[in-house]
Structure 1
Amino acid sequence: MSPSQVIVFATPVFLLLIVIEFAVGLRRGRNTYRLSDAVSSIGLGMLSQVAAVFALLLRLGIYTAVYTHAALLPDTGFWTTPVGWLLALLAYDFLYYWNHRLGHTVGIFWAAHVVHHQSQHYNLSTALRQPVSYPLLGWVFYLPMALAGVPPLVFVVVGLIDLLYQFWIHTEQIGSMGRFDRWFASPSNHRVHHGVNDRYVDKNYGGILMLWDHLFGTFEPEDPREPSIYGTRKPLQSWDPVWANLEVYAALARDSGRATRWGDKLRPWLKPPGWRAADVAAKHPVAAFDIAAVQRFDPPVGRAVQVFAALQFAALLGGVALFLWHADSHPLLHNASGAGVLLASLWALGALLQGRITAGELLLIECAALSAATAATGWTTLHWVFKPLTMGIALALVVAHRRSRPDASGSAWLLAALLASLAGDVALMLNGLFIPGLVAFLLAHIAYTQCFRQDAPWLPRRRVWAGVSALGALVYTLLWAGGLPPGLRLPVAVYVLAITLMASQALGRASVWRDGPSCLVAAGALCFMVSDTLLAINRFVTPLPASALWVLGSYGAAQCLMVMGLLRTRSATPA
């Protein structure tokens, strides 16, 4: 049984304990859960487990290579005896302590580990909140076990034991446990670890044993007179799982790029979190942390949205369980496609709970992702459902928008573009209808171009038009040289002209409006160019690996970005 399958078996237990903790909190009048926060935390855990499927080869592969070729002690069977298992667990917990400690005291490691600390609530769902990138960095800490001759199987099992033990200590419903708290990781001393209070920061790193904290001076008991304030000293303020994993990396990169001395460009990554070069701190000051000013991030969410989000999340849980159960037997393309669907869905769910998108837009994003994934994995029947359904949802969103805002400019052209796109989708799914599909998408590009002209001058940035046209000419030259049939040279030339005009108008419009929605539309137009370019290269020049995933992934992104951008409310006049 693989580690991923162990997690699948453990998940119902995790969820049952979460429900019990929630019920106990309600009964005691001390509920520690908020739906949005719990969905965010568990979703990040799901994303972490999916990412671990890909990182396992790196982490376990390197460990196995070191064990096989560089172990200092021969494998005499000792590590599979009861004493050997116990010593292996002890060794893992010791190395975990240093892994965890450096995860708080070295910038690049904190950038990965911070995900686990971002929640401003402390409950069992917080235990599941795990980063995507830490397995890519943390494996190095455990190589001493490989050098000592600990077999990979023993290493994996004791690692799972250490990880699973830490689940139950993430709760506020269990108080002090007396002497147990002093020597073992417990809810009390782990609440300290998650606190941003001055006396609690960077304390209690132990995974199972507090022995290491006592030995190395990092133990701090919980003081009932000073409850922990949870989260980080620079709150995330978002339910976005992508930003949750990238926020500290982005901050480190900014400070590194702003530094003038080469040494100061490297130090943010290696120094403790919060370190900044003197010149950077002077030019870009950051307010000092004030614990009294900490406020919980909790955007209001209506009851209907909560119910919808809960149902969506339940479906995602089931999908991830299936993914993890079969991950070891599925090819890389299948796993990558599934991971893409999960990432898109979790991002959309977070955006919904934050009020950034609507439920309809969430369904649009999910269907677009599923359309690409089912095509890439060969699930033709499901692809035939999700691809036209994506355009159907987009059309429904535009119709609803027209009813709420009859004066919205360009909505008729947008409807025409989506109808033509739907016709093109159906034609390209059927054999022998490439030319009708090409014509349908040609009409879609013309309609999109007209839509973009409703609130911006015609090609307002001629340099943009020149650059995009040059790119289109380059693509057409590549297709011609790659074997474009003579009978298609003129139709494809007309098509390339149409899509370059569409993209040029979208980019020019964005330069006029200079707002978020117009930039979304411009990004979508560029994605459309990418999709059509990949489709043409795959068809006329050379087959591309995983072509369906790239072609339909960029196509789905294009339609989602353009529709969502055009439906966003804009100011009365361009900026």
Structure 2
Amino acid sequence: MKTNYIALSVPIFFILIGIELAYTFYKKLNYYRLNDSIANLSQGIGSQLVSLFMKSVLFVGYLYIFKHWRLFEIPNTIWTWIVLFIGVDFFYYWFHRMSHQINALWAAHIVHHQSEEYNLTVALRQSWFQGWFSWVFYLPLAFIGFDPIMFLTLSSFNTLYQFWIHTRTIKSMGFLEYILNTPSHHRVHHGSNPKYIDKNHAGTLIIWDRMFGTFQKEEEEVYYGITKPLASWNPVWANLHYWKELLETAKKSERFSDKINVFIKPPGWFPAHLGGFQAAPEIDADTYKKFHTEVNVPAIVYATLLFLLSLGLGSYQLFNFDRLSIVTNILIATFTITSLLTCGALLEKKRWFVAVEASRFLLGFVIIYVCYRQNMSVTYLGVLLTIHLALLIYFFFIKSSYRNV
């Protein structure tokens, strides 16, 4: 039986986020913004939902190679776990580094870097499509003969380790800075300052960056985000916008080889007739401004309730996916992602919010009916119906004053 350590850690994630939020509020550090935090967590929910549908497909490659082509029979000893831990971390470094140096991979990974804040919610801001290719980098471990369950376990813990380093509240960690990936090292990795770009790709051990020339110490103030800000709270657009840019550049490229190069060259590369490579601009502290939107209190409350509904449904599906039919899973996932979409649209004051939100309500009633037909828990259905009706009533209030949110 495979244990989903990421799912089991969700409550701990939110406890730690709460602690950091309380600490930064007490210290008046302004490390959190509600709209940014909701956007970050929305990406995490969407990422987990997409991975539920893809987990078996993506794992089958590793499993097949292990069963049919492995070179060695490796015993399950403490030394095997240690060697595999180092191997997982090593291949994570190269997967992560290539995700910053190949446009087609960066198009997925860019999601994790879009936030202009740096706090524990950023750790959960994950791409919906990165898992579709990241597993390929670990296949040498399958050829060697490392057990798939051992690999999944250590891969999960490698990911879990990286949660706590997404913080500004911890400064230097002394001698550990020479061995481990720390908050200071990872702050550099998230920087859009030119000297910080494409540095510190480590997962757990910073030694790989020191060995392969990608290490950079944290020095001047870090400006977070990407060089061309996303300027949106839309979780779907966050996963697609860079693909749109790449396709537009490929369309403008005159030579076929350049059309291919658009996807395999590093970010910033353009054909010569489109200006050639464009380096990241220096940060002007006097003109630097984070993307931000202001909405009124009723809209903030509504957006927060939408997010909490999405979080609840996403968590339910995370733990009950295998018990639900494929149709029910697709309906719930679609409803949850649509809820996150309209939540972002409300925070951005998008004109299409009202129409999409109305459609979401219709979908919600369909889901409740389907769940009822499949004999889902009466308590769960009652809670879901109550929340859905309460939001529907609130929606009409928001709708009538939407131009003033």
TM-score, normalised to structure 2, is: 0.89
- Paired residue for 2:87? 91
Change (3 A) 1:183 1:393: closer
Instruction: Within 5 Å, give how 1:44-193 maps onto structure 2.
Output: 44-74=43-73, 76=74, 78=75, 80-193=76-189
| Residue-by-residue CA offset, 1:142-187 (whole Å, 9 max, x unaligned) | 1011101111100110011000000000000001111111210110
| Contact 1:363 1:393 (C-alpha < 8 Å) held by counterparts | no
Determine which of 231, 235, 240 is the counterpart of 1:241.
235
- Paired residue for 2:196? 200
**Separation in 2, partners of 1:33, 1:278:** 41
| Residue-by-residue CA offset, 1:471-515 (whole Å, 9 max, x unaligned) | xxxxxxxxxxxxxxxxxxxxxxxxxxxxxxxxxxxxxxxxxxxxx
1:268 matches 2:267: no
TM-superposed CA distance for 1:82, in Å, is 1.1
TM-superposed CA distance for 1:374, in Å, is 4.0
| Residue-by-residue CA offset, 1:398-435 (whole Å, 9 max, x unaligned) | 9976xx8xxxxxxxxxxxxxxxxxxxxxxxxxxxxxxx
Among the aligned pairs, what percent are the same residue?
35
**Separation in 2, partners of 1:3, 1:295:** 43
| Residue-by-residue CA offset, 1:203-248 (whole Å, 9 max, x unaligned) | 000000011001100111111xx11100000110000011100011
Instruction: Within 5 Å, give how 1:198-347 maps onto structure 2.
Output: 198-223=194-219, 226-281=220-275, 289-292=281-284, 293-347=287-341
**Separation in 1, partners of 2:397, 2:57:** 45
| Residue-by-residue CA offset, 1:418-462 (whole Å, 9 max, x unaligned) | xxxxxxxxxxxxxxxxxxxxxxxxxxxxxxxxxxxxxxxxxxxxx
**Separation in 1, partners of 2:149, 2:369:** 36
Letter matched to residue 332 of structure 2: G
TM-superposed CA distance for 1:28, in Å, is 1.7
**Mean Cα displacement is larger for which, 111-120 or 28-37?**
28-37
Change (3 A) 1:7 1:344: same
**Separation in 1, partners of 2:324, 2:120:** 31
Letter matched to residue 361 of structure 2: C
| Contact 1:252 1:269 (C-alpha < 8 Å) held by counterparts | yes
**Separation in 2, partners of 1:138, 1:400:** 42
- Larger Rg, first or second structure (1 or 2): 1
Give structure 1 stretches of 5+ with no counterpart. Answer: 405-566, 570-575
**Separation in 2, partners of 1:84, 1:379:** 49
Letter matched to residue 191 of structure 1: R
| Contact 2:354 2:399 (C-alpha < 8 Å) held by counterparts | no
**Separation in 2, partners of 1:56, 1:361:** 33
| Contact 2:303 2:347 (C-alpha < 8 Å) held by counterparts | yes
Q: How many residues align?
A: 392
**Separation in 2, partners of 1:260, 1:375:** 53
| Contact 1:241 1:347 (C-alpha < 8 Å) held by counterparts | yes
**Separation in 1, partners of 2:294, 2:274:** 36
Letter matched to residue 174 of structure 1: I
TM-superposed CA distance for 1:318, in Å, is 1.5
- Paired residue for 1:518? none
| Contact 1:197 1:229 (C-alpha < 8 Å) held by counterparts | yes
Q: Counterpart of 2:298 in 1: which secondary structure?
A: helix
TM-superposed CA distance for 1:355, in Å, is 1.5
- Paired residue for 2:343? 349
**Separation in 2, partners of 1:94, 1:83:** 16
| Contact 1:45 1:130 (C-alpha < 8 Å) held by counterparts | yes
**Separation in 1, partners of 2:202, 2:170:** 18
| Contact 2:93 2:208 (C-alpha < 8 Å) held by counterparts | yes
| Contact 2:194 2:282 (C-alpha < 8 Å) held by counterparts | no
**Separation in 2, partners of 1:245, 1:295:** 23
Q: Highest relative contact order (Cα 8 Å, sep 6+), 1 or 2? A: 2
**Separation in 2, partners of 1:291, 1:143:** 39
Q: Counterpart of 1:291 in 2: which secondary structure?
A: coil
**Separation in 2, partners of 1:379, 1:298:** 43
TM-superposed CA distance for 1:372, in Å, is 3.8
Q: Aligned-residue CA RMSD in angstroms? A: 2.9
| Contact 1:18 1:125 (C-alpha < 8 Å) held by counterparts | yes
